[in-house]
Each structure stands twice: as structure tokens, then as C-alpha cells.
Amino acid sequence: MLSLENIINGIHTWLNNTFDPTLALTCEFVLLGITAIAIFAVLGLVLVLMERKVAAIMQIRKGPNRVGPFGMFQTVADTLKLIMKEGLTPDGADKVLFNLAPFIVMIAAMLLLAPIPFAKGVQMWDINIGVLFISAVSSISVIGILMAGWASNNKYSLLGAMRSGAQIVSYELSAGLSVITIVILTGSLQLSEIVNAQQNGWWIFKGHIPVLISFVTFIIAVTAETNRAPFDLAEAESELTAGFHTEYSGMKFALFFLAEYINIFIACAIGATLFLGGWMPFHIGNWEGFNAIMDYIPSSIWFVGKTFFLIFLMMWFRWTFPRLRVDQLLNLEWKYLLPISMLNLLVVTVMAIMGWYF
């Protein structure tokens, strides 16, 4: 069967047979960079259209339906509009930091693509500290947001950036503790090893109630970390006009907008990898016939399906729950999620030591 793994191995073999090792490796790096940029561009278009269609379904309306069949080219039209818009820089802004901020946010998102296993044998960088790498790099984006808010010389922007900083730093704790529960059960920080450990069952099923609690906590925490509603206080239009990117326009605004949706994809891809088996198919015990049918579905389809299911869940949150106040947002983390995560981590540790999981 034609699979991503076979295609990648074929390209690798052809490059090494055609060029010397150094040039072949350079070509592979260039191809990876082009692929990452292409993934970003396509995901941005797809996820924005999906957001609008999900919103329309939730509100019992049609959504985009004019540009192209079923409104499929609406996001392409919006992208062209943003490209043609003039990028303005306020007079009182710190021009260097103002222009640098959106690129820092995008670079952080790009780096996070590296250790994620997209399918069987399809991974840019199978680093043995993948979970630690993701936790460290995901913290960089808050620097870009703080930089954008401060450099804009706008009180709305600065207030939005400070809110975002407090929010991301706070919810990183619960997200990190949720991830550690899977690391404890697997005994490895390597994402490929975490996926392989779920060969006989996804952790959300074989880890009992403690892993289910970790999963729910993780989804809530990453929704807050990506500044998504009902946690979108950093860019609350009714209070801060647009928050930290109030002064941005044109392609610089588009980079912030794109980074938000790419971060949603990455957060859901990590959630699917840790809790839902990544690219692993769904198996039921000794049901050989059923398991064989599940194995026939390509691993990339499993990964994309699980990731987009979690993305739909986050979009569902946005169009269902009202926005929280700042005090409610921080109370939820420090008074509820963090204590629950710490207690849950203790339970998972005991469960792992005693072997009380499938």
C-alpha cells in the first residue's frame, strides 16, 4: 500500500543514490522546510474555514457559501485581501520589536512540528526528550506576545499582552502535569515510544479514570494556552478592541492569526499522540477481523482524524461557553485545575508502580 513512510523512504534513497551524503542531507533539510511552510499555509486555510462552518452549525446558519463551492475559497479570498493590505507601524512603536514579534510566534509554532509523529515512520525529528522539547519551546510564544503588546505603545495591546502572559504561564502548569502522567505510565519522553506503548490500547482507555482526568485537564489547559474562547481575554474584542495585536495589519496581523490556528493544531496533535494513540489504529482485544480492518486504514488518516476531532472539540467550546472574567480564569487554574492535577499525578504514580493498568 502507498503510504507516507514509503514515499519518504523512496525520496531519502533517491537523494542518497544521486548526490553525496552532505548535499543529500542539505536537500532533505530544504524539503522539510518547504513541507513545514506548506503545512502551515494549508492548515491555516482549512482551519479558518472549519471554524466558520462549525460556528454556522452551532448557530443554525449556513456560514461561508458565496466564494467557490460551499464557500471553500472564502479563506483564500481573505488571504489575498490581507496580502494586499498595507502593513502599518505606529509612530510611537518600537519598530524592531514590533516587526519581530509575529515572527517569533511563528518560529515557535514551526519548531513544535519537529518531534510530532504524523504517521508510522513519518517524523521530522525523533528526539529522545520530545515531551520536554515541546514543553520548553511552547513557552517561547509568550515572549512574542509580550513583545507585541509592549512594542505597540498602546494601552489596550499592553493590557492584552499582560493578560496573555499570566494566562499562558498559569495554565502551562496544569498542561505539563497532565503530560507527565503519560510520561510516567510510558517510562519515556520520546513521542515515538509513547505511541508504540499504545499498541495494545490507547492510554485514555487503558489508563482508567486518572488518565481521563489528565485528558480533560489537558484539553482545558491548552484551550487557555492558545488564547481560545472562553479563555480569549488576551484579545477580548469587547474590552480591548483586539488585545495584543490591535496595532497590527496586513501580513503581520495574518502571521498572528495563522499562528493561533497552527497552535490549535499542534496542541490537538500532541493530545492525540499522548492520549489517543497518535497514528495507532483502534483495536479491541482479540477481535482479529475487526483489528485487521482497522489496520487497513493508513496511519496518517488515524492521526489526522484524531487531531481534527480534538480541534472540533475546541471549536465547540468557543461557540458554547461565554467568556470568563480574569479572576474566574485564574481561579479555575490555581484553585481547581492545579490541585486536581497534582493529586491526579500522585494517583497515576502509584498506579504505575503497582501496575494497575491494562
Identity (one letter) of the amino acid at 265?
F
Mean pLDDT of 218-227: 91
Contact 94, 123 (CB under 8 A): no
Range of weakest confidence among 212-216, 231-235, 264-268, 269-273 = 231-235
pLDDT band at 352 (very low <50, low <70, confident <90, very high): confident
What are the residues whose beta carbons fall under 8 Å from the beta carbon of 219, sequence distance 6 or more?
271, 310, 313, 314
The pLDDT, as a whole number, for residue 336 is 94
Residues 211/203, Cβ–Cβ less than 8 Å: yes
pLDDT at 293: 87
DSSP bridge partners of 122: 119
166-190: burial string, b at 16+ Cβ within 10 Å, e else: bbbebbbbbbbbbbbbbbebbebbb
Distance separating alpha carbons of residues 197 and 179, to the nearest angstrom: 15
pTM (2 d.p.) = 0.90
Output the average pLDDT for the chain. Answer: 88
Q: What is the pLDDT of residue 222?
A: 93
SS3 229: coil
CB 246 within 8 A of CB 152: yes
H or E element at residue 231: none
For the chain, the distance separating the N- and C-terminal CA atoms, rounded to the nearest angstrom, is 32
